[in-house]
Amino acid sequence: MRSPRLFLIPLLLSSLLLIMAACNAPEVQQKQSDPLEPYYPAFHKEALPADFDFESTPRYNLTLRVDPDARRVTGVQQVHFRNLSGIVMSDIYLRLYPNLPQLGGLMKVSAVRTLPDRYAVGFVPDVENTAVRVTLINELDSGQEQDLEVEFEIIAPKKDGYVLFGDSQDILTLPYAYPMLARQTGNPANPWRLEIPPTFADIALTDQAFYSVTVSLPADYTIVTTGVEMAQADANEPGWVDHRFVTGPAREWTMVVSDRLEKLSQMVEGDVINNYYLPQDEYAGKSAMAYSAAVMRVYHRLFSPYAYTELDVTEAPTRYLGMEFPKLNYIGVDVYRDVTNSQEILIAHEISHQWWYALVGSDPYRYPWLDEGLAEHSSLLYMETLYGQEVADRIRVQRWRIPVKWVQDNGYDVPVGQEVTAFDSTNYEILVYAKSALFFDSLYQEMGRDRYLDVLHAFIERYRFKTPTPQNFLDIVTEVGGIDPMPLYEKWIEGTEPVSEE
Ligand SMILES: [Zn+2]
């Protein structure tokens, strides 16, 4: 009885190996040809929707040299682009946002070539020097792809006070520091989004893209970015280091450079959370680390798992209370240091933009209220989860109702559901943040917590890594939330009905 069985083993083994080889072969082949492979370290595969269109998603390959003393960035960018306009296209627009007066930088493109042939092509400044229009030698059919190589240089400003872009308080912040493809509309009559954002509003109008970036920097400098660092190596220049990063699908690339920032790290739900702070703010840094971890735990549970594998929260010299980028949040120095009062709720607001901006996008020019209202209301959900209803009620009154009533009493109220140009620096933040938060809160109160969260889950499930409109959200409220959102929408978003303080 023993020997025949033993005799069978080699046969069984060899057939097993054959079966394994057959099973493995297509998988290995598929793995090698998976174009997303280089980017997986930066994001969770499962976060991508099944219909994600990689071929239509731009890819940037950036080689940057950042000289912090001179506040100069020199770069070569290869960018892969697909014409989604539905028409034949001869011009491509790249935005030079550092030239916006509110950023105060100086950005110049010095050469543009088509790839792989490396033909130099013409380009001219446009849109008040916040863009260059690149004219292709060969027109691009609808759906056709084109690779461009762009050489550029940026000088960032230095200021004593606050900067969103530039050097202040020992931190050099460099958002928008490459020629960003303008957002395509898909509308043949008007294929590009080329608006100039007002000084008080969010800036970048972009599409999702993948980034592979190498930054050369003096060795004693720390760099914080929207990417995950893959490697460091000695640069060609003595005393300089090359840092290599990749991103997941990201609506923009951003970096912060400093020779003073300290770092704390913690794992939360399997992802790395980093906090960066100036040495004199060590206590605030520890507090920000603890709050960031708590916020990530709560949102992971309330909304969905985080899409990226790392999150950075950094102290930044911005006048804004905070600023969101994919995988990276700036917290303005004043709020960062205000540990006992505003630090926690602001961290909750900013980190929620990793869901309401980075993951589920919105149009910051046409519907700035959509992601800001959701972010504001998310900070209430976080505070209520940890501290209960009394704290939530205080947020409703002090953070939202009293400021909105002030705006109304002083004659600054306008409907919230308008594009950024309908506001000014007096009423923008209160209406776009607080009044729209009251809209989401009215839905929350009418539907109850469970159904409201079901609505958010459906919104994430359907629109992750996409850019939905307010109507897409309202449709989900009707379908999943089971209520007609229009009376509340008309009151809070379209109307100017007086608000009480209670
Ligand atoms: Zn916000």
- For the stretch 10-36, pLDDT in tens is 333 344 333 444 444 444 444 468 999
User: Contact at 8 Å (CB) between 71 and 112?
Assistant: no
**Å from CA of 328 to ligand 1 middle:** 13
DSSP 137-153: EEEE-TT-EEEEEEEEE
Give per-residue pLDDT as tens, 126-179: 999 999 999 999 999 999 999 999 999 999 999 988 999 999 999 999 999 999
Same-fold call for 59-259 versus 264-494: no
- pLDDT, residue 4, reads 33
User: Contact at 8 Å (CB) between 177 and 191?
Assistant: no
Mean pLDDT over 441-468 rounds to 98
Q: Which residues neighbour ligand 1 (ion) by CB within 5 Å?
A: 372, 375
Residue with tokens 């009151």: 491
Mean pLDDT over 411-436 rounds to 96
Strand ranges in 281-370 using DSSP code E only, listed in sequence order: 310-316, 322-325, 328-332
**Å from CA of 81 to ligand 1 middle:** 29
**Å from CA of 322 to ligand 1 middle:** 7
- pLDDT, residue 32, reads 61
**Å from CA of 321 to ligand 1 middle:** 9
**Å from CA of 316 to ligand 1 middle:** 15
**Å from CA of 324 to ligand 1 middle:** 7
Taking phi first (over 0 means left), then psi (-120 to 50 degrees means alpha), and beta for anything else, what does residue 149 get?
beta
- pLDDT, residue 333, reads 94
Mean pLDDT over 420-438 rounds to 96
Looking at 3.40.50.720, 1.10.390.10, 3.10.180.10, 3.40.50.970, the CATH number of the domain 264-494 comes to 1.10.390.10
Torsion of CA 423, 434, 292, 391, to 10 degrees: 170
| Domain 59-259 bears CATH identifier 2.60.40.1730 | yes
Mean pLDDT over 379-406 rounds to 98
Q: Domain segments of the chain: what residues?
A: 59-259, 264-494
**Å from CA of 404 to ligand 1 middle:** 17
**Å from CA of 368 to ligand 1 middle:** 9
**Å from CA of 312 to ligand 1 middle:** 16
Q: How many CB atoms lie within 10 A of CB 281?
A: 18
Residue with tokens 């990226």: 308
CA distance 8 to 26: 28
pLDDT band at 244 (very low <50, low <70, confident <90, very high): very high
**Å from CA of 350 to ligand 1 middle:** 6
**Å from CA of 482 to ligand 1 middle:** 28
Give per-residue pLDDT as tens, 319-372: 778 999 999 999 999 999 999 989 999 999 999 999 999 999 999 999 999 999
